[in-house]
Amino acid sequence: MKRVIITGADGFVGSYTVQCFLDNGMEVLALDIIEEPRRLKPRAGLSYKCIDVSNPKQLLDAVESDYYDTFVHFAWAGSAGSQRTDYNLQMQNALNTVECMKTAKQLGCSRFVCAGSIMEREVEAAVHEQESRPGMGYIYGMGKLIAHCLCKSVASNIGIDLLWPMITNAYGVGELSPRFVNTTLRKIINNEPLQFTAGTQNYDFVYVTDVAKAFFAVAKDGIPFKEYIIGSGNARPLKEFILEMQRALAPDATPLFGDVPFTGTNMPLSAFDTTDIKTDCSFEPEVGFAEGTRLTMEWLKTL
């Protein structure tokens, strides 16, 4: 692996991944839909193109063939907020992912690494449970699962190595979405009540720099047609994460558990198992949850 294309490169996780690949001596072509990147800064080995990856012809016309060896795909519309429930959008994301992989093959890439989600496993558990009534919030994960299923068959057919890292819950400096860690940290900053579910559902979180390192490790050493869980390696009930965050960042606050109903699916700890990424790719996370949330809160205070 020497030359890499990364889509969604100016996004939260994408931008950290670009920096990680550059730090490891790779040449990176960063692709995103905005004219000028907001997160990425000029540096040696990095080139940037404004490209809508939903248009395969535009991608083929703009990128030199038989030059890049690896394609890393983050571009995904509606990954946070209300658009997660837009089934038309999420289905289109899945189709766009397959077309990106086919284009990667046409460009001469031998490996296609796509950002999957732990929510794929939540979806499977929720949908196949008898008499279940999954909420609209599962539609984002359904899109990821559909993309995964389609890509696996198509990759086998066209002859490209597919690798599927599945992120548990990424967080860190630079994230602006209303996801759990960000929302909780903002409540701490604003001295708002810390109200949660009972917190008995199993969870995992991983700091964004570790996510980026995991993607590099999988792209470099991952075994084709395997999925890899990207997590801390210490999944546990959500309540334990909340208490760790509260003790480190708001020791005088009192978390209130059970005030918010839980309507999701509680997955077994085995669903968060990171053995494969450790064994195959020699990946070990470096940033603990208390430290990661502290760094994130310090950054949020500057906004």
**18-36 pLDDT tens trace:** 999 999 999 999 999 999 9
What confidence tier does 65 reach under pLDDT thresholds 50, 70, 90?
A: very high
> In this predicted structure, what is the pLDDT of residue 81?
85
Residue 155 has pLDDT above 90, yes or no: yes
Domain boundary assignment for the chain: 3-172+205-234+272-286
Rg from Cα positions in the chain: 19
Provide the CB-side half-sphere exposure for 1 (13 A, CA).
23
Residue 263 has pLDDT above 90, yes or no: no
How far apart are the C-alpha atoms of 288 and 162, rounded to whole Å?
Answer: 30
- CATH number listed for the domain at residues 3-172+205-234+272-286: 3.40.50.720
Structure tokens at 74: 């983050």
**Residue-averaged pLDDT of the chain:** 96
CB-based contact 86:78 (threshold 8 Å): yes
- What are the b/e assignments for 267-284, b being 16+ CB within 10 Å? beeebbebebbbeebebe
**282-291 pLDDT tens trace:** 999 999 999 9
Residue 59 has pLDDT above 90, yes or no: yes
> In this predicted structure, what is the pLDDT of residue 223?
98
User: How would DSSP label each residue in 43-96?
Assistant: -TTEEEEE--TT-HHHHHHHS-TTT--EEEE---TT-SGGGGG-HHHHHHHHHH
**163-207 pLDDT tens trace:** 999 999 999 999 988 899 999 999 999 999 999 999 999 999 999
CB-based contact 201:268 (threshold 8 Å): no
